[in-house]
Amino acid sequence: MSGAESGVPVVGRLAPTPTGFLHLGHAWTFSMAHRRVRECGGRLLLRIEDLDLQRCKEEFVEGALEDFRWLGLDWDGAPEFQSRREELYLDAWRRLRDGGFVYRCGRSRKEMSTLAPHVEEPVFPVEWRGSVEEARCHETPSGWNWRFRVPDGRRVVFDDQTFGPIEKMAQKDFGDFLVWNRDGIPSYELAVVVDDLAMGITEVVRGADLLTSTARQLLLYEALGGCAPVWCHCQLVCDAEGRRLAKRSGGLALRELRRRGMSPAEVLELAAAGVVNPC
Ligand code: GLU
């Protein structure tokens, strides 16, 4: 059931990460987010996901806004910037610590990658877990990685507007995941859930590459005591070689297509021709 069908006013969001220029896949996803909200008279908020200050650039923020305008995607109110919301994330971290949901983790990315060298995101081994009791001795997350302790063998099920029922198993599809990074910033998973809750988001539209993240995020909703939104994951757009688009797929950047004289409608047609199911 969508938010509109349930009678709750729909609040959606556009949430670009300004680490590069938007490409065809973004046009597809963001247009879907916009269309679904506008069709039911809901509100659409804009959130710039700029927590990674090393990789995010002002140029890409400006670029995303320009591309949205060109595509005809408008939003309501002033944009929010994740980089200005640290207090909210810290508050959520304290609640997770107090609730016994997180622990300090000394394992490095290198150690993780030696577990399964060819796997993008290996499942964190339960033997490497830290103590949620010890976590209570920390006033702040500072200086450490912090992980969410995923309930053993937990089956997370949700209904997706595109793909129908989705099931992900803890310790098989995903393991204990980061909520805070040693370099002082909250993880994507934590920041997104905290913001979607604080901004009253009722509907999340994003790429199908984030289906497993949704399972993790549902556990955070549960731990933080919030109501999860309606999920709509969009099929991914691939390039001519069948590879998923990345910000480095420069040739399919919206500004490049625009420079070649394509119209927004032609861009969306091209995207529609390239959509594939998630791997
Ligand atoms: N910022 C993410 C992106 O640009 C989207 C995150 C989300 O929608 O949850 O891919």
Q: 222 lies in a domain? A: no
Q: Which of 153, 175, 200 is the last residue of a domain?
A: 200
Q: Are residues 45 and 93 in the same domain?
A: no
Q: Are residues 46 and 148 in the same domain?
A: no
* Position in ligand 1 atom list of the atom nearest CA 205: 8
Q: 213 lies in a domain? A: no
For residues 39-53, give the mean pLDDT: 97
* Position in ligand 1 atom list of the atom nearest CA 192: 9
Q: How far is the CA of 137 from the centre of ligand 1 (A)?
A: 33
User: Is the separation of the CB atoms in 234 and 36 below 8 Å?
Assistant: no
CB 15 near ligand 1, within 6 Å: yes
Phi, psi angles (nearest 5°) of residue 122 = -65, 150
Q: 210 lies in a domain? A: no
Write down the pLDDT at residue 273.
84
Q: Which long-range contacts (CB under 8 A, 24 or more apart) does 117-124 make?
A: 121/174, 121/212, 122/175, 123/171, 123/172, 123/173, 123/174, 123/175, 124/175, 124/176, 124/177
Q: Are residues 117 and 131 in the same domain?
A: yes
Q: 243 lies in a domain? A: yes
Q: Are residues 35 and 126 in the same domain?
A: no
Q: How far is the CA of 127 from the centre of ligand 1 (A)?
A: 31
Q: 206 lies in a domain? A: no
Write down the pLDDT at residue 242.
73
Q: Which domain holds residue 173?
A: 85-200
pLDDT in tens, 82-133: 999 999 999 999 999 999 999 999 998 888 888 777 777 889 999 999 999 9
Q: How far is the CA of 138 from the centre of ligand 1 (A)?
A: 30
Write down the pLDDT at residue 249.
60
Write down the pLDDT at residue 250.
60
* Position in ligand 1 atom list of the atom nearest CA 213: 9
**How much of the chain exceeds pLDDT 70, in percent?**
94
Closest CA to 64 of 56, 55, 53, 76: 56
For residues 38-43, give the mean pLDDT: 97
Q: Which residue spans within 228-277 are E strands per DSSP?
A: 230-234, 236-237, 275-276
User: Is the separation of the CB atoms in 267 and 31 below 8 Å?
Assistant: no
Residue carrying the six token digits 């309606």? 230
Q: 19 lies in a domain? A: yes
Q: How far is the CA of 232 from the centre of ligand 1 (A)?
A: 12
* Residue 52 predicted with pLDDT over 50: yes
Write down the pLDDT at residue 276.
63
Q: 225 lies in a domain? A: no
CATH number of the domain within which 10 lies = 3.40.50.620
Q: 214 lies in a domain? A: no
CB 25 near ligand 1, within 6 Å: no
Q: Are residues 58 and 122 in the same domain?
A: no
* Residue 188 predicted with pLDDT over 60: yes
* Position in ligand 1 atom list of the atom nearest CA 16: 4
**Count of domains observed in the chain:** 2
| Mean per-residue pLDDT over the chain, rounded | 92
Q: How far is the CA of 15 from the centre of ligand 1 (A)?
A: 5
Q: How far is the CA of 206 from the centre of ligand 1 (A)?
A: 6
Decide which of 58 and 118 is more confident: 58
Q: Are residues 77 and 90 in the same domain?
A: no
Q: Which of 184, 200, 216 is the last residue of a domain?
A: 200
Closest CA to 34 of 21, 43, 23: 43
Pocket test for ligand 1, best of 51, 206, 234, 254 (most atoms within 8 A of CB): 206
* Residue 4 predicted with pLDDT over 60: no
Q: How far is the CA of 71 from the centre of ligand 1 (A)?
A: 18
Q: Which of 200, 226, 251 is the last residue of a domain?
A: 200
* Position in ligand 1 atom list of the atom nearest CA 206: 8
Q: Are residues 62 and 89 in the same domain?
A: no
Q: Are residues 183 and 101 in the same domain?
A: yes
Q: Are residues 166 and 93 in the same domain?
A: yes
Which segment of 23-37, 49-63, 152-166, 248-262 scores lowest on mean pLDDT? 248-262
pLDDT in tens, 232-263: 999 888 777 777 776 656 668 999 999 999 99
Q: Are residues 90 and 187 in the same domain?
A: yes
* Residue 149 predicted with pLDDT over 70: yes
Q: Are residues 189 and 100 in the same domain?
A: yes
Q: Are residues 74 and 94 in the same domain?
A: no
Decide which of 77 and 242 is more confident: 77
- How is residue 150 written in tokens? 């995923």
Under the banding of pLDDT at 50, 70 and 90, the label for residue 279 is very low
